């Protein structure tokens, strides 16, 4: 239930119940609130009136006024106010930066994604994020004081205060350059979270894990990282490190935490070097390039090219080993491979599914490709910001508005 402060008076529990109901209801009547919350009619109407006074709800024209009611007294109808504010989601990846501005319910108003230098110093990265945030809000024509909640996802473990631990090479400090402090005054509620955990939140909200209580979102872009959900709860850890990919540096048959695009390149080159693939074939010619586009290899595999399928099989063995480790540690029902590469990864996953049962004693989880694409972290950041707006920012906004009227 929304955490409605004591500033809303003795009826704060009923006001919170009505506010919770309103988020999912769209248009509603007091009778529908009673049925959905078990409040009495007088209590429901008092709570609705309180939220109307605060400008959190607005009353709609009655059914007779819009020609939809013929006789009797039409019921009053309500909905959430359209001008509560916005939420912001930031995906601060190793090589990209995406900023989204959305309404608190279901629409993304503006979304911008740009490439960034992974070796940017922390102070430059911080300034880049702030500049992109300013630009995106300006395009959405939203003043800064209307941001209800903001969530930023970073490619680093993050503790509950939004702070990342030190990394031996400074990577975590660069990807999370003090964002909790830098963004503190940009919204009523500011959260900084690990990107794989946000991918897991996105998959549970609108992706391949809807209705599933035990799953891992395996973010497989620049590096592997897992967002782990057990019994319906996202696991975190003391420093936000649950699912951190460095463990794969130490797993035989994996030996690295670098993501699937690099694994496809490496396995293609190794197959050519081992004589498994002819250097003058389609895949062999790709290997001659400085950097292999993994989508081309996967497209060839999907079309039935034997050499590309051989590469997909080798990468599938790596994925099976990774999923086997995650499956043995967390016992998920599903492992969902996320990121831009997921759009074309099916040949690799088909191989992984064949290999996986031999990697585990427990029943093997389903291995699925995410349908949320490259913006899965942005989707998780928006979902997290919306939840913060619903549970914390909007009740605080109601309290402030009523205090000003008192």
pLDDT of residue 245: 80
With a pLDDT cut of 70, the percent of the chain lying above it is: 94
Contacts of 134-139 with CB under 8 Å at 24 or more apart are: 135/99, 136/88, 136/99, 136/100, 136/101, 136/110, 136/111, 136/112, 137/88, 137/101, 139/110, 139/112
Q: Provide the pLDDT confidence category of residue 257 given band limits of 50, 70 and 90.
A: confident
Q: Is the pLDDT of residue 3 over 80?
A: no
Q: Is the pLDDT of residue 279 over 50?
A: yes
Q: What is the DSSP string of 209-228?
A: TTT-SSEEEEEESSBEEEEE
Domains and CATH numbers, the chain: 6-82 (1.10.10.10), 86-205+376-391 (3.30.420.40), 210-371 (3.30.420.40)
Of 187 and 244, the one with more pLDDT:
187
Residue-wise pLDDT tens digits, 204-234: 999 999 999 999 999 988 788 899 999 999 9
Residue-wise pLDDT tens digits, 354-398: 999 999 999 999 999 999 999 999 999 999 999 999 999 998 888
pLDDT of residue 10: 44
What integer is the mean pLDDT of 4-23? 72
Residue-wise pLDDT tens digits, 18-73: 999 999 888 999 999 999 998 999 999 999 999 999 999 999 987 554 455 555 56
What integer is the mean pLDDT of 11-17? 81
pLDDT of residue 293: 85
Q: Is the pLDDT of residue 118 over 50?
A: yes
Cα–Cα distance, 379 to 186 (Å, whole number): 19
Q: Is the pLDDT of residue 267 over 60?
A: yes
CA angle 286, 287, 289 (to 5 degrees): 75
CA atoms within 13 A on the CB side of 217: 35
Identify the DSSP state of 373: G
> For residues 152 and 179, is the Cβ–Cβ distance under 8 A?
yes
Determine the distance from the C-alpha atom of residue 40 to the mean position of all C-alpha atoms in its chain, rounded to a whole number: 38
Residue-wise pLDDT tens digits, 302-358: 999 999 999 999 999 999 999 999 999 999 999 999 998 899 999 999 999 999 999
Helices (H), 65-191: 122-140, 171-175, 179-182
Strand order of the sheet with strand 224-230?
233-234, 224-230, 215-220, 334-338, 366-369
What integer is the mean pLDDT of 89-118? 95
pLDDT of residue 1: 59
Cα–Cα distance, 355 to 398 (Å, whole number): 55
With a pLDDT cut of 90, the percent of the chain lying above it is: 69
Cα–Cα distance, 249 to 258 (Å, whole number): 9
Cα–Cα distance, 95 to 199 (Å, whole number): 17
Q: Is the pTM of this model over 0.85?
A: yes
Q: Is the pLDDT of residue 6 over 50?
A: no
Residue-wise pLDDT tens digits, 162-190: 999 999 888 999 999 999 999 999 999 99
Of 1 and 268, the one with more pLDDT:
268
340 Cβ contact list (under 8 Å, min separation 6): 221, 373, 374
Q: Provide the pLDDT confidence category of residue 4 given band limits of 50, 70 and 90.
A: low
């Amino acid at each position: 239930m929304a955490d409605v402060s004591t500033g809303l008076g003795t009826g704060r529990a009923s006001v919170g119940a009505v506010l919770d109901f309103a988020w999912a209801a769209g248009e509603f009547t007091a009778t529908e609130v009673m049925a959905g919350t078990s409040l009495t009619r007088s209590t429901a109407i008092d709570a609705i009136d309180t939220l109307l006074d605060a400008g959190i709800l607005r009353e709609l024209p009655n059914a007779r006024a819009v020609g939809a009611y013929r006789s009797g007294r039409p019921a009053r109808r309500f909905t959430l106010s359209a001008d509560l504010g916005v939420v912001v989601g930031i995906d601060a990846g190793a090589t990209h930066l995406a900023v989204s501005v959305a309404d608190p319910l279901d629409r993304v108003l503006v979304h911008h994604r740009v490439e960034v230098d992974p070796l940017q110093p922390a102070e430059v990265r911080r300034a880049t994020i702030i500049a992109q945030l300013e630009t995106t809000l300006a395009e959405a024509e939203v003043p800064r004081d209307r941001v209800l909640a903001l969530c930023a996802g970073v490619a680093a473990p993050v503790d509950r205060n939004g702070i990342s631990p030190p990394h031996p090479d400074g990577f975590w400090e660069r990807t999370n350059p003090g964002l909790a402090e830098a963004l503190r005054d940009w919204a009523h509620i500011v959260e900084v979270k690990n990107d794989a955990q946000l991918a897991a939140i996105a998959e549970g909200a609108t992706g391949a894990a809807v209705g599933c209580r035990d799953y891992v979102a395996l973010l497989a872009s620049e590096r592997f990282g897992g967002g782990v959900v057990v019994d319906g709860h996202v696991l975190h850890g003391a420093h936000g490190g649950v699912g951190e990919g460095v463990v794969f540096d130490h797993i035989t048959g994996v030996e690295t935490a670098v993501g699937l695009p690099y694994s496809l390149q490496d396995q293609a080159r190794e197959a050519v070097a081992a004589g498994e693939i002819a250097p003058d074939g389609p895949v062999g010619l790709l290997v001659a390039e400085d950097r292999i586009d993994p989508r081309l290899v996967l497209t060839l595999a999907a079309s039935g090219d034997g050499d590309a399928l051989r590469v997909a099989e080798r990468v599938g063995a790596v994925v099976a080993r990774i999923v086997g480790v995650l499956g043995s540690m967390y016992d998920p029902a599903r492992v969902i491979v996320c990121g831009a590469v997921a759009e074309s990864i099916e040949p690799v996953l088909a191989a992984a599914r064949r290999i996986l049962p031999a990697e585990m004693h427990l029943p093997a989880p389903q291995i699925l490709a995410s349908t949320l694409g490259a913006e899965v972290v942005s989707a998780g950041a928006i979902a997290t910001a919306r939840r913060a707006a619903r549970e914390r920012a909007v009740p605080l906004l109601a309290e402030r508005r009523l205090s000003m009227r008192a």
